[in-house]
Structure 1
Amino acid sequence: MPLLRQLKFAFRSTDILSVGQPGVSPGEFVIQPAGKMPASPTAETAVLLRVARELLRANGAPRIAAELRVEWNSRLKTAAGRADYRQKLISLNPRLSEHPAEIDRTLRHELAHLLAQFRAGRRRILPHGEEWQEACRDLGIKGERRCHNLPFPVRRYVARFVYRCPNCREKFPRVRRVRRAVACLACCRAHNGGEFDARFRLRLVSSSGGL
């Protein structure tokens, strides 16, 4: 069932390769791990933010580039990163400091979520659907997997609530009780252009604590 750290690891100012440098294609930006760890995590975050904004501008999304923020979030445990389109925020797992070569890829992976939703406008899209895959290609990570395989500690969750779509009867196990109106995306896409439709609102059918 798919379930929906300030960091003392940084890059030197020379760790961004940009257009015109050897080995870099037009429109390409690459982060290279630093040989030493500078004292300021703020400087390292600024480097990541600059790269991310350049990538978005190069792909026709200057508006969200201007609003974008990048942070290291110690609350991320098993996820390498997270993208929040409403807040224009990319959160990265500080454990990536143990896998520096993965920082650039993870940044682009999360950027692809923002870019895909920007292109889709108000239309709802699947988190790792065709739009996201296209954005990954445009950001230089063609064939990107939806999940990482980094050796982060795995936390086991038990689904305590089960919801069901009244139309297609598909079941949706959840760890926590759903507190807002949530509808079956497949049915909304099939019958209402991907927009929320109360006809397909998920209904609680079972709970470990009783209904």
Structure 2
Amino acid sequence: MPLLRQVEFAFRTVAGIADPGRISAPQDAGVTDPGYNYVERNLNLEETARDLLRAHGATQMTAELRVEWNSRLKTAAGRADYRQKLISLNPQLSEYPSEIDRTLRHELAHILAQFRAGRRRILPHGAEWQLACVDLGIADEKRCHNLPFPARTYTARFVYHCPSCRQEFPRVRRVRRAIACLACCRKHNSGGFDPRFRLRLRTSC
């Protein structure tokens, strides 16, 4: 799956190396505790991934490859980072054991596809990735999973309002630039920005 970088606030983080004989995430994964984040390597999954790379001509990068459980993944099943030679898996996959190997191969296909492409840029789920999926035994792989992971919810911490029409605009993050009420700008200024309707902060949590 495509690499997505997000800023998250971690109140507690635990890092370690998993029992090499276990492929699932640890029982104390903290999935239900939003304040608990952990990253844990899994040597067994790493060896599986390295064997697959060797079988498909990517031996020189096997020593660098790492596979980890990362609780910062919330809705994504996995993530691949070619530069770091890193595959991150969502601990919630432990609830769907049959999906662990498939997700590992899905992410490994990103690594293998980019390795084959060299310096050439490729699409995350383009023809190169699809071919890698075929080689790794998941020819019918889709770009996104359909596992019922709970969706993220965000609480609006800032409420802005228009000084003219008084409409409120909840926001998760503080607004750092000048923005105005679109409805009022359209009504009174042909849709162009008008400082008379610049949003003002009403409350913050």
Do they fold alike, i.e. is TM over 0.5?
yes
Matched, 1:78 2:39: no
For the aligned residue pairs, the C-alpha RMSD in angstroms reads 3.6
Larger strand share, 1 or 2: 2
Contact in 1 for aligned 2:41/2:68 (Cα 8 Å)? no
Amino acid at match of 2:49: A
Residues 1:105 and 1:11: Cα distance change in structure 2 (over 3 Å): farther
Contact in 2 for aligned 1:11/1:38 (Cα 8 Å)? no
In the alignment, the residues of structure 2 paired with residue 156 and residue 125 of structure 1 have an alpha-carbon distance, to the nearest angstrom, of 32
Matched, 1:114 2:111: yes
In the alignment, the residues of structure 2 paired with residue 65 and residue 78 of structure 1 have an alpha-carbon distance, to the nearest angstrom, of 28
The offset of 1:155, in angstroms, is 2.6
In the alignment, the residues of structure 2 paired with residue 57 and residue 92 of structure 1 have an alpha-carbon distance, to the nearest angstrom, of 21
Contact in 2 for aligned 1:6/1:72 (Cα 8 Å)? no
Larger helix share, 1 or 2: 1
> Of 90, 93, 98, which residue of structure 1 is paired with 2:90?
93
Residue in 1 aligned with 2:128? 131
Matched, 1:63 2:56: no
In the alignment, the residues of structure 1 paired with residue 27 and residue 151 of structure 2 have an alpha-carbon distance, to the nearest angstrom, of 30
Residue in 2 aligned with 1:201? none
Residues 1:83 and 1:124: Cα distance change in structure 2 (over 3 Å): same
- Give aligned pairs, total: 136
Residues 1:110 and 1:146: Cα distance change in structure 2 (over 3 Å): same
Identity of aligned residues (%): 70
Amino acid at match of 1:47: N
The offset of 1:58, in angstroms, is 0.3
Give structure 2 stretches of 5+ with no counterpart. 5-13, 29-38, 155-172, 174-197, 200-205
**SS class of match (1:83):** strand
**SS class of match (2:63):** helix
TM-score by length of 2: 0.57
In the alignment, the residues of structure 1 paired with residue 20 and residue 141 of structure 2 have an alpha-carbon distance, to the nearest angstrom, of 24
Give structure 1 stretches of 5+ with no counterpart. 14-30, 158-175, 177-208
TM-score by length of 1: 0.56
Contact in 2 for aligned 1:69/1:89 (Cα 8 Å)? yes
